[in-house]
Amino acid sequence: MQFCRVEREGHLLVVTLDRPEVRNALHRAASDELDHVWTLYETDPELRVAILTGAGDRSFSAGYDMREPSAPAGERDGVGFLAHRHLRGLGGLTLRYDMTKPIIAAVNGFALGGGLELALACDIIVAAEHAEFGLPEPRVGRMALEGGMHRLVRSMPLKTAMGMLLTGRRVSAHEAYRTGLVNEVVPLADLLPAARRWADEILACAPLSVQGTKQAVMQGLDLSLPAAVGLVPQTMAKALVSADQVEGVNAFLESRAPRWSGR
């Protein structure tokens, strides 16, 4: 890997954006590499939860690397951006809508522009106390086109989200927590341990139940409640007839910890 570090810890995958010299901004080659990582994560039955973080203590990610010389001129000046961006978005993740496995963002510094869009594409966000969040694109004549504007209004109160979107203002980690954008705020030294604690809690659950829950919630976001309740996505259907469902009941009746197989 050239642009990220990937560590496997049992059923956990830890992915670290590793371009600190440009505040972990990502160009097309980095997104290609990360797209490969997420595809491997998605298809490996032994991997059940992932953590995404950034190298260093200043920046989770500054988003798209607009200074990358190899980027088409249209991308650097804003013209033709939509035509040239990665099929599955920044970091191979922001436009990857079919991921059923959970991802935890461990935000180790500022998450601005595409960096916030990356964090928003994750399911849980844990932030260091000094982290800052914002979508400053309008201040340079651009927009958050990697799903950020739409995810933001689904992640916090509408007026608060619009205040950020229309002004490009940054918010602190604690303000992000108060508005529901962030799940937990911790000192920087405790960031990865906190993210791993969240991962351990996910790993205590049946993997197919976790994936089925995520898939059903994501697909049901824009439906009425009755329609959403009636959804039975593929992963949920698989979980309902899985060996793990039987194991979970047996473990409860026998007062022991379940042994999940993922089947």
Give domain limits for the chain.
4-203, 207-253
Q: Tokens representing 107?
A: 């935000």
DSSP 165-177: HHH---EEHHHHH
CA–CA distance, 156 with 152 (Å, rounded to integer): 6
Q: Which fold has domain 4-203?
A: 2-enoyl-CoA Hydratase; Chain A, domain 1 (3.90.226)
Q: Compute mean pLDDT per 10 residues along the chain, 263 residues long, and list them.
A: 96 97 94 97 97 97 79 46 72 95 98 97 98 94 92 96 96 97 98 98 97 95 94 90 94 94 91
Q: Which residues are catalytic?
A: 117, 137
Find out whether 237 and 100 touch, Cβ atoms under 8 Å.
Answer: no
Q: How confident is the model over 188-232, as pLDDT tens digits?
A: 999 999 999 999 999 999 999 999 999 999 999 989 999 999 999
pLDDT for the residue 69: 55
Q: How many CA atoms lie within 13 A of 156 on its CB side?
A: 23
* pTM attached to this predicted model: 0.92
Distance from C-alpha of 213 to C-alpha of 259, rounded to nearest angstrom: 19
Contact between 117 and 146 under an 8 Å Cβ cutoff? The reply is yes
107 has which bridge partners? 127
